[in-house]
Amino acid sequence: MTEPQRHYSDRQVVGIARRVTWVGFAVNAALTGLKIAAGIIGRSSAMVADGVHSLSDFVTDVIVIVMIGVSRRKANTVYQYGYGKYETLATVIIGAALGIVALGLFAGGLHAVVEVIRGNLPEQPGMIALWMALISILAKEILFHYTRRWGQRIGSAAVIANAWHHRSDAFSSLATLTGISGAIFLGPSWRIFDPIAAMLVSLFILRAAINIARPAVMELLDASLPPEIAGKLKNIIKDTPGIITYHHFRSRRNGAMIILDVHIKVNPNITVEQGHSIATDMERRLKGDFGRSMIVNVHVEPYRGQKINPDGSCKD
């Protein structure tokens, strides 16, 4: 079950994100060294490759540590909407890194399959490689859940993306475990199962990379918010007392922050001050549900009898 997102200050978000990422960094450092050592001692090229895969996590950890701090900086005259899209850019980079790793694993697996078909069987790995694969799967799965949980709590797409990168490493180790187990317990004829499993897992990793990068790319292109979120925003607007209808609804995301532009229509006979109070009340309600950092740009207009749609909006 997903925990409800709590509201943290920018300082708290940066601190939590960095702490979580440093934990991952330390685990990755240990696993990288241990995997490569186990692969060399245990004569397992798959385990050495798995250790190299863990090295890719270092890159994403550094990206998250740097970008999280930048993304939470206050707005200024240059970045008047803040630095939120730095985090979005970090998410795209993580997705791209995952995709590159997936393609590399697939290519390596395909090359190994071709070599087996040619009669060049790999050496039988030792038990140390098997145990290292099990340790890696357990460690990375725990790290995945830990990182994703905190990423959801602080609303950080980059931290959540990094969590999935941890899981991709667990998938890689699972493929390695399968191949090593087959080579040790089923005999030489089953060693081809190792590269085949690696190729299949690489496709799952590639899918995860696409799922991570796609929404971040859409955000960089200023795509509208998903219908379910936009629907909640519209419900709050139309249920605000004093708002008769609305139009020119536009929404987008800047990192963890939502930006909304909307024109509201009110009774033409009220005062400017009353119209301003209605707009302020709507903004307060929106920020109460979607966070104080939300930017609401609202234009107040008189209602002139326009037809109102089922969602509370009007044409013009």
Q: Which of 174, 192, 220 is the last residue of a domain?
A: 220
Cα angle vertex 272, ends 270, 276, to 5°?
A: 105
DSSP states of 72-132:
TSPP-SSSTT-SHHHHHHHHHHHHHHHHHHHHHHHHHHHHHHHHHHTT-PPPPPPHHHHHH
Residues 133, 240 within the same domain: no
In this predicted structure, the answer to whether residue 2 has a pLDDT above a threshold of 60 is no
Q: Which of 167, 192, 220 is the last residue of a domain?
A: 220
Q: Which of 186, 220, 254 is the last residue of a domain?
A: 220
Helix (H) or strand (E) holding 24: helix 10-41
5 inside domain: no
**Which residue range forms the structural domain that includes residue 134?**
10-220
Are 168 and 56 within 8 A, CB to CB? no
Please give the average per-residue pLDDT across 59-63, as a whole number.
Answer: 72
Alpha carbon distance 117, 115 (integer Å): 5
310 inside domain: no
CATH value at residue 257: 3.30.70.1350
pLDDT for 179-214, tens place per residue?
788 878 887 777 777 777 777 777 877 887 888 889
pLDDT for 261-298, tens place per residue?
999 999 999 999 999 999 999 999 999 988 888 999 99
> Which range (76-90, 237-251, 291-305) has the least confidence?
76-90
Tokens of 209: 């990379």
Q: How many domains does the chain have?
A: 2
- Residue 30: partners with Cβ closer than 8 Å, 6 or more residues away: none
pLDDT of residue 7: 66
